[in-house]
Chains A and B, each alone.
Chain A
Amino acid sequence: MQFWIIQTLNSVAFGGLLFLLSSGFSLIFGLMRIPNLAHGAFFMLGAYFGYTLLQLKLHFWVAAFVGGIGVGLIGIIMERVVLRRLAGNEQGQVLVTLGVSFIIADICLLVWTGDPMPLAAPPSLRPPLRLGGLAFPTYRLVVLAIALAAALALYLLMERTRLGAMIRAGVDDMEMASGVGIPVSRLFTTVFLLGATLAGVGGVLGGPVLSAYPGLDTDMLPLALIVVILGGAGSLLGAFVGSFIVGFIYNFGIALVPDLAYFVLFLPMVLVLVFLPQGLFGRVQI
Chain B
Amino acid sequence: MTRGTRVALALCALILLAVPWIIGNEFYVNMASQVLIYALFALSINMMLGYGGMVSLGHAAYLGIAGYACILATLAGYDQLTAAIFAIALSTLAAALFGVLSLRAPGLGFIMITLALGQIVWGVAYRANDLTGGDNGIRHPARPMPFGFDIHDASSFYYFTLVVFLIALFFIRRFSRSPFGASLMGARDQPRRMRMLGHNVWLIRWITFVMAGFWASVAGVLYVNYNLFLSPHAISLQQSAEILLMAILGGASTLSGPIVGAAIITLVKNVVSTYVERWNTLLGVIFVVVIMFMPHGLVPGCTQAWRRLRNRLRRRKTSSGAASELAR
Query: Which A residues form the contact surface with B (CB < 8 A)?
Result: 33-35, 37, 82, 85-86, 89-92, 94-96, 98-103, 105-107, 109-110, 218, 221-222, 225-226, 228-229, 233, 258-263, 265-266, 269-270, 273-274, 277, 285-286
Contacts and interface: CB of A to CB of B under 8 A. Distances in A.
A219 to B, nearest CB: 8
Interface string B95-112: 000000100111111011
B292 A273 contact: no
B292 A82 contact: yes
A281 to B, nearest CB: 15
A218 B119 contact: yes
Contacts of B70: none
Contacts of B109: 229, 233, 285-286
B284 A35 contact: no
A94 B110 CA distance: 12
Chain B contact surface mostly: helix
Interface in B151-204: none
Contacts of B120: 222, 262-263, 265-266
A45 to B, nearest CB: 14
Contact of A260 (B112, B113, B124, B236): B124
B57 interface: yes
A99 B285 contact: yes
A98 B115 CA distance: 11
Interface in B224-246: 236-238, 241, 244
A282 to B, nearest CB: 10
Interface residues of B, number: 44
Contact of A95 (B127, B281, B291): B291
A37 B57 CA distance: 11
A241 B244 CA distance: 33
A274 B291 contact: no
A94 B54 CA distance: 13
Contact of A226 (B57, B101, B116, B287): B116
B284 A102 contact: yes
A254 B143 CA distance: 36
Contacts of B108: 33-35, 90-91, 94, 286
Given A101-B284, A259-B129, A94 B111 contact: yes
Contacts of A109: 280
Given A101-B284, A218-B119, A261-B127, A274 B248 contact: no
A227 to B, nearest CB: 10
Interface in B66-112: 101, 104-109, 111-112
A226 B117 CA distance: 10
Which A-B residue pairs are the 4 nearest by beta carbons? A262-B123, A99-B287, A102-B284, A286-B109
**Max count, chain B CB within 10 A of own CB: residue among A91, A228, A265, A269:** A91
B57 A262 contact: no
B291 A35 contact: no
A259 B128 contact: yes
A102 B280 CA distance: 6
Interface of B: 55, 57, 101, 104-109, 111-113, 115-117, 119-120, 122-124, 126-131, 236-238, 241, 244, 248, 278, 280-281, 283-288, 291-292, 295
A107 B284 CA distance: 11
Given A103-B285, A106-B281, A222-B116, A94 B55 contact: yes
Given A85-B292, A106-B278, A218-B119, A98 B127 contact: no
5 contacts: A96-B288, A99-B291, A101-B284, A225-B112, A263-B124
Contacts of A107: 281
Nearest to B125: A262
Contact of B116 (A33, A99, A269, A285): A269
B284 A262 contact: no
A95 B116 contact: no
Given A91-B55, A285-B109, A258 B115 contact: no
A106 B280 CA distance: 6
B92 to A, nearest CB: 19
Nearest to B242: A102
A94 B57 CA distance: 11
Nearest to B279: A106
Contacts of B237: 218, 221
Contacts of A285: 105-106, 109
A225 B116 contact: yes
B287 A95 contact: yes
Contact of A273 (B113, B238, B286, B287): B113
Given A35-B112, A96-B292, A260 B128 contact: yes
Nearest to A103: B284
A277 B292 contact: no
A286 B105 contact: yes
A262 B55 CA distance: 23
Contacts of A263: 120, 123-124
